[in-house]
Amino acid sequence: MKLAKSLYFQILCAVVLGVLVGHFWAQQAVALKPLGDAFIKLIKMMIAPVVFCTIVTGIAGMTDKSTLGRLMGKTLLLFLVLTVISLFIGLGAVYLFQPGVGMNIDPATLSTASIAQYTASAAKLSVVDFFMHIIPDTFMGAFNKGEVLPVLFIAVLCGFALSAMGERGRPVLEVLESASQMVFRIFGYLMRFAPVGAFGALAFTVGQYGITSLGSLAKLIATLYIACAFFVFVVLGALCRSRGFSLWKLLRYFREEFLVVLGTSSTEPVLPRMLQKLEGLGCKKGVVGLVLPTGYSFNLDGTAIYLSLAAVFIAQACNIDLTIGQTLTMLAIMLLSSKGAAGVTGSGFVALASTLTVIHDIPLAGLALLIGIDRFMSEARALTSLASNAVATVVIALGEGACDRDKLMRALASGKAEPVALPEAAEWTAPDVRPHA
């Protein structure tokens, strides 16, 4: 049966089955946690080589190096604008629905034992530490932890170096092209285990925390999902319409990736596949390789919505009235803390802890109100950030004239990626990502 062989259908069944097993057989479901953890580890081990090969070959193939500076400038500016909009959407939603009003919580009565690990991580975060973390201790050290930013840094340097070498660098580029095909083939094998990973992760989440645990804080969770939906369908939808393509068709195109993120509450497992499928939309490798990995650290819009919403929720629950000055200061700090926590386990929660540690207007102990439901909220954060980065990559590629619009429309209409033609090593030619005249 063709439907049964579809990865989308298999993951969807695994997600439903995971919820059912977690709800009805909670004790057994908790023991399934290694299935989700193992799948994420398998995929994460491929992230560094995929990102490195994609970025190096993409940059080395750029015939006009001024393109790179303009591309990064546009990318970071778009990410900044989207993050600011996200923060204000979270703020507007929490004041509109007021999920914390009436809880009348005394911060002194809250236990902080459960949040100790997050506050400890938050204490280590600073803007300087974040940028210093981008530089690895050694060249190979960039690949040891599988973190995106150090690999991105090394890949950009290597791309420029190979480009400057001209013909002498061609043998290395041929090897990297072949290596790229190899790692994507390996990744294809690993993705067959996506349904197993999604099943194990969701079964554990529901079994560990229980659907009933959502009751008392259901309004907060609903507020976050509404805010994220507004950002995706209104803000990102308008961005897509401005470039002449459909948001809905783009979301449908990445449906399998969204289901994996829904099951694992993490965007990292789908990074290699996102790179591949964005090329399948007609976006040039050089643009995709720079914009998407950068977005994984600098465009966490789901986290930004969560930060402003959750912080004001704690204030509402503890009957604390924030002034306009306090609120604007909080948003400015969140603009930085949402980036500084990238790559840290439980990044959204750690970013919130680091923000509250700095501003002091909202009690840090209030984090204890969120710890039990953070896993359910992390799914909204991850899905929103993934959608934002996918849209941003296509929008920037179109703006740079580095996307085949006809191929994009055909792929979106069919819902399937067109094959990405990878040149043979002996016939390698540099792709041109210069804007069309």
**Structure confidence by residue, pLDDT tens digits, 387-402:** 999 999 999 999 888 8
Report all structural domains of the chain as residue ranges with CATH numbers, in order of start: 18-62+84-414 (1.10.3860.10)
Identity of the amino acid at 368: A
Q: Is 169 exposed, middle or buried (0-12, 13-18, 19+ CB in 10 A)?
A: middle
CB atoms closer than 10 angstroms to residue 108: 7
CA atoms within 13 A on the CB side of 119: 15
Quick one: what percent of the chain has pLDDT higher than 70? 81
Confidence of residue 333 (pLDDT cuts 50, 70, 90): confident
Confidence of residue 433 (pLDDT cuts 50, 70, 90): very low
If one compares 179 and 2, the residue with the highest pLDDT of the two is: 179
Exposure string of 277-303, with b = 16+ CB inside 10 Å and e = fewer, is: bbbbbbbbbbbbbbbbbbbbbbbbbbb
pLDDT computed for residue 91 by the predictor? 93
pLDDT computed for residue 249 by the predictor? 93
Identity of the amino acid at 311: A
Question: What is the distance between the alpha carbons of residues 43 and 197, in angstroms, rounded to a whole number?
Answer: 11
**Structure confidence by residue, pLDDT tens digits, 244-286:** 999 999 999 998 889 888 877 778 788 888 988 998 999 988 8
Helical packing angle, 374-399 and 271-280, nearest 10°: 30
